[in-house]
Amino acid sequence: MSFSTTLTFPIINKTYDQPTGLFINNEFVAAKSGKTFEVTTPITEEKLTDLQQAGAEDVEVAVQAAHKAFQEWKFTEPSIRGKLLYKFADLVEREKETLAQIESLDNGKSLVCSRYDLNLVVEYIRSCAGYTDKIDGRTINSDSHHLNYTKREPLGVCGAITPWNFPLLMFTWKIGPALATGNTVVLKPASATPLSNLYVCKLIKEAGFPPGVVNVIPGSGRGCGNAILQHPLIKKVAFTGSTEVGRTVMTECAKTIKKVTLELGGKSPNIVFQDCDVEQTIQHLITGIFFNNGEVCCAGSRIYIQATDEKWYSEFLQKFKVAVEKLKIGNPFEEGVFQGAQSTPDQFQTVLDYIKAGKESKLKLLMGGNRIGDKGYFVEPTIFYDVPQDNKLTQEEIFGPVAVVLPFKSVDELIEKANDSEFGLGSGVHTEDINTAIYVSDRLAAGTVWVNCYNDFHQNVPFGGFKQSGIGREMGAEALDNYTQVKAVRIKIKTPQI
């Protein structure tokens, strides 16, 4: 039975072969139940293909395959694990443009955004490859009669559940550190955007990873996701998604005492001081909220602008508006498009509902506020200004191309407002004064502070949240701690009898 279909990218009319089966033990296979589910594109709302739908039985098969593979993979020489990861990175780089196009087709994001993702994907895999032989322990000097040392060992089978906004990037953030430290993986991609994850499985096999080391099984959260959370052989779960679902993940994992990392929601402040470089700052504000259609957990959706000088504040808003109006919104495969379609019909409606709520509460609308066209999930870039701190658009995560602007006059007022959120994922500070930058950065309750930039990720810089935005870190050396456990060895030394 064939588990592949031919799909066509719009406008460029290029075709490619899309895997449609579950990837278990290095093979594409049918779901045990025989069930399938439909994948559509948010660009036109049309069906792309049917995929095999994993359930609890398939989770069991995948976990057993991963558990068996772990028995040898954990003792595989670090240098060999590194070579396989480097080979995988090379293969992803070879297929980079096709993978970017798959992301845009399935997710709706522009090719500009997809290509950015793929560049980081390649570099992060290589970064993980470089860490494989650097997972070190330490020696402990307790006394002259003992030798004490520690080892950082892999956990075992790691479960991963990834979101629909960055399908391949989140895939990489999960499997990279897991494989580098000697674990095996069972990963459930979001049902809305699984295509790139399945395509890249072909490259996992081509790179030479042993069967069972990586298993990818698309399915529903209830049937497939819960089975991953509850399985006793899965020793760690990495989840990226909403804070609400993250709480459920943590509760379910507690039943079998798993290690858990959560990268959750955000409502990040992006702060503008009057001494900033205006033109550059406006571009960073655009990147902060309209990159990836605004579907970014750390999006700079609360924009605080210094208004000590009312004239400067008004002029800045107008310049911001003019710059945003120049953005091209539409089919991701059209030349020059920056903002594509919202990824899912539910999220599309959520964004429109928040915009409606903003209008009904008489918020000042700087621009946008409407659906674009009548086919596909396209929304105008939308900015409300002079928004109250306690308004729901200020406090709640919208997860779309909608920003609120709030003026401030003193640093103390700003810090209080910026930290007035249950979230603490990202933040931005725009100023030419290094003293202001450091002072404010030190006082922001956020896992990341970007200064004079925004959404500026690097594979060696850790990313994760404070407060309700999560537990643990992705990328950087810190990510490796999530996938290892420490073993202490204490050896009694006898005095030689000579």
Any residues with CB less than 8 A from the CB of 292 and at least 6 apart, and which? Answer: 109, 113, 165, 166
Beta pairing partners, 378: 372
- From CA 404, how far away is CA 394, in angstroms rounded? 6
Is residue 158 flagged as an active site residue? no
Q: Are 469 and 264 in contact (CB under 8 A)?
A: yes
- From CA 171, how far away is CA 471, in angstroms rounded? 18
Length of the chain: 498
Is residue 206 flagged as an active site residue? no
- From CA 416, how far away is CA 420, in angstroms rounded? 6
Any residues with CB less than 8 A from the CB of 116 and at least 6 apart, and which? Answer: none
| Tokens, residue 311 | 């004239």
The dihedrals phi and psi of 394, each to the nearest 5 degrees, come to -85, -35
Any residues with CB less than 8 A from the CB of 126 and at least 6 apart, and which? Answer: 85, 86, 89, 459
Rounded to 10°, the helix 111-131/78-94 angle is 160
Beta pairing partners, 158: 185, 236
Buried b (16+ CB within 10 A) or exposed e, 252-281: bbeeeebbbbbbbbbbbbbbbbbebebeeb
Q: What is the DSSP string of 295-338?
A: --TT---EEEEE-SSHHHHHHHHHHHHHHHHT--BS-TTSTT--
Region class of 456: left (phi > 0), else alpha (psi between -120 and 50), else beta: beta
Any residues with CB less than 8 A from the CB of 345 and at least 6 apart, and which? Answer: 42, 45, 377
Considering 103, 263, 380, 474, which one is annotated as catalytic?
A: 263
> In Å, what is the CA distance from 133 to each residue of 130, 160, 446, 465?
7, 24, 31, 28
Pairing state of beta strands 184-188 and 214-216? parallel
Q: Are 300 and 269 in contact (CB under 8 A)?
A: yes
Considering 158, 201, 253, 297, which one is annotated as catalytic?
A: 297
- From CA 185, how far away is CA 238, in angstroms rounded? 10
H or E, element range at 98: helix 96-107
| Tokens, residue 440 | 């404010």
Catalytic annotation, residues: 263, 297
